[in-house]
Each structure stands twice: as C-alpha cells, then as structure tokens.
C-alpha cells in the first residue's frame, strides 16, 4: 500500500496532539480528482476537529485524523468522467467529514467540481485562503439576497469569513455595519464597511441606537448567538455558521445555519471568487506559512485570539 505524509492527530486534544503522520494514498473515484497539495490552510474548523468537536460527524473514520478544507495544488489523477487534465494547477475545497481525512496531506481526493483552475500569476499562498471561506461568504450573500441599500450587520468582521462577507456585501451595494475589535476598525472600513461598532456586551444596544427598527440582517460569524437577535428588525434575517449556534425564532425572524457545502460543487462560483481575488476585489490575508513538520505550531497559532490572516501549511517547501 502506498502511503504519504500528512499533518494529523491520533487522538483529539490540544495543538500538541498534531504531528506528521503517514496515511494511505487516497484513490479518486468516479467524479473525483486527486490533487498534489502545495498550500493548505488551517481554519477554525480544523481546530474544532482536532479538539473533537466534529467526532459525531466522522463516526467511521479511523485515526490518524487529518484536517484541511482548502488547498492549492496540481491535479495528480482523475476518476471516471472527469475532464480535468493532470498537471493543471487548481484551488479548491475538500472535507474531512465524513471520511476523516482532508487536505493537510501530500495528496487529497475531492469532488472534481470542488476545484477550479488558478488564475495565472497569482500568489498560490493567497489563493489557498479563498475557496472555503470565499464560498461561505458567497452562500451567505446569495441566501440573504438583499436588495442594494439594505443594511447588514457582520459580527466577526475582521475574520476570514467576516472580511469576505463585508467585501462582497459592500460590492453588492449593501450598507455594512461591521462588528469587530477597535483595533480592526481601519481594516473593516477599508474592506467596505459603511459603519463600525466595537465588539462588546452592548453591541445590540449600539446597533439599535443607530437603527431603531433593527437591521435587515445579521451575519453572525462571531457566534454571538441569541445576543445577535435584538439587532434584527421584525421579520429580518439572521444567518449563523455553526451547528449548535442557531437561536430560536422570534418576531418573524427564522435564524438559519448556512454552509459552504451548498456551493462545494460549483466550480463556476469558485472560479469567479478566484478571479475576484486576482483582480483585488477580494482581499486575502495570510498570517504565516509553515512547513508540515510545524503542524502543532500551526494549530497553536491558528487558535490564538487576535490572529489576523490565515495560517497556511506549505507541502512543497
């Protein structure tokens, strides 16, 4: 059996659980592609997976577990019915749910529709931060489908998803109220926020003081949960990004969980996001690029509050 190196963990735990592991090389099935990974990001979901938060979603997976949802690499092999050419440079998303193994590896298998060609001449490290979080932001905007001029509050606006939502919402003509740390005001205003509210216990009062009837929608990327509801007008929208963080309905507001997986098989949407990033319309941020043998450090850094930009693992270094 052929094996490969991956960044993973044999048991759930802290960053110290993370190490270089050896796992079987995955084979692409019909409609799938195998990518030789060059860059792959460490997202909050990878940290959650390592802590054991997603154990129920990978009931049949065997250790070592390997996270990883976003990647840039080279098409290495294709399954039946796939017309991508081996050797093409692509960016895309994968998932460790339900199989237990994602893109923190030399090779990853994902759906052929989950990857799109990388625009030429663009930094691959930056592009690796686009697929999953960019698709999430696009799902958010398309789910809300608000008309230009509507007002949306984005909590966690300085984060990866929040930042992309601010930028895409602003480009769609929405009024964006960004909630983030005071030190991030310049950043989120630069991304297109038209108003800023510093994070804290009185965010909802502050938003209501400026919008007495409440705002049209809240995108809760900071998991304020029920504390986010008072900002929303009667009959407005609240979107959250994690299971277990959906507050109960009230005043005609039906809070809803959204996932990037709605667009995981939409290479056209992904290609648009990659092109937008290449043209400067989607601002990518990278905190650090580390080699796979520094996986534990990458996880520790990724879960450090106040980190801005994504941690990237470079398998080609």
Ligand X SMILES: NC(=O)c1ccc[n+]([C@@H]2O[C@H](COP(=O)([O-])OP(=O)(O)OC[C@H]3O[C@@H](n4cnc5c(N)ncnc54)[C@H](OP(=O)(O)O)[C@@H]3O)[C@@H](O)[C@H]2O)c1
- Contacting positions for ligand X (CB under 6 A): 43-45, 133, 136, 155-156, 158-162, 179-181, 199, 221-224, 241-242, 259-260, 305-307
The nearest distance, CB 73 to ligand X, in angstroms, is 20
CB atoms within 10 A of CB 202: 12
- Nearer to ligand X among residue 116 and residue 224 (C-beta): 224
CB of 180 to ligand X, least distance (A): 5
Min CB(2)–ligand X separation in Å: 32
Count other Cβ atoms within 10 Å, centred on residue 103: 34
- Beta pairing, strands 175-180 & 151-155: parallel
| Residue 176 near residue 166, CB atoms below 8 Å | yes
The least CB distance from residue 83 to ligand X, in Å, is 27
How does DSSP assign 193-260, residue by residue? -SEEEE-STTHHHHHHHHSTT-EEEEEETT--GGGGGGGEEEEEEEEESSTT--PPPBTTB--EE--G
Q: How far is CA 15 from the centre of its chain?
A: 20
Among residues 74 and 297, whose Cβ is nearest to ligand X? 297
Name the closest residue to ligand X (Cβ): 159
Q: How far are the Cα atoms of 67, 89, 159, 201, 222 from residue 305, in angstroms, in the given order?
A: 20, 33, 11, 18, 12
82 vs 96, beta carbon nearer ligand X:
96
Q: How far is the CB of 56 from ligand X (least distance, A)?
A: 16
Closest to ligand X by CB, 30 or 243: 243
CB of 23 or CB of 69, closer to ligand X: 69
Q: Is 174 helix (H, G, I), strand (E, B) or coil?
A: coil
């Amino acid at each position: 059996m052929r094996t490969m190196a991956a960044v993973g963990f044999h048991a759930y735990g802290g960053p110290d659980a993370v190490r270089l592991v050896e796992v079987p090389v995955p084979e692409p099935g019909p409609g799938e592609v195998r990518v030789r990974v060059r860059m792959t990001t460490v997202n909050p979901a990878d940290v959650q997976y390592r802590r054991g938060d997603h154990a129920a979603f990978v009931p049949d997976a065997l250790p070592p577990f390997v996270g990883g949802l976003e990647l840039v690499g080279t098409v290495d092999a294709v399954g039946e019915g796939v017309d991508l050419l081996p050797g093409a440079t692509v960016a895309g998303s994968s998932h460790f749910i339900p199989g237990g193994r994602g893109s923190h590896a030399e090779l990853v298998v994902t759906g052929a529709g989950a990857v799109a060609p990388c625009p030429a001449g663009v930094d691959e490290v930056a592009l690796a931060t686009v697929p999953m979080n960019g698709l999430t932001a696009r799902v958010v905007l398309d789910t809300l489908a608000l008309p230009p001029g509507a007002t949306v509050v984005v909590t966690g606006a300085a984060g990866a998803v929040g930042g992309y939502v601010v930028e895409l919402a602003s480009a769609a003509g929405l009024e964006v109220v960004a909630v983030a740390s005071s030190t991030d005001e310049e950043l989120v205003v630069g991304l297109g926020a038209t108003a800023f509210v510093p994070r804290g216990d009185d965010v909802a009062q502050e938003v209501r003081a400026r919008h007495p009837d409440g705002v049209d929608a809240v995108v809760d990327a900071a998991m304020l949960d029920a504390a986010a509801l008072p900002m929303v007008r009667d009959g407005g929208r609240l979107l959250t990004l994690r299971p277990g963080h959906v507050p109960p309905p009230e005043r005609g507001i039906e809070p809803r969980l959204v996932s990037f997986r709605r667009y995981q098989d939409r290479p056209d949407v992904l290609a648009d996001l990659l092109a937008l990033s290449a043209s400067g319309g989607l601002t990518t941020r990278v905190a650090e690029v580390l080699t796979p043998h520094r996986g534990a450090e990458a996880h520790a850094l990724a879960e450090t509050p106040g980190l801005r930009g994504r941690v990237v693992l470079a398998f080609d270094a």
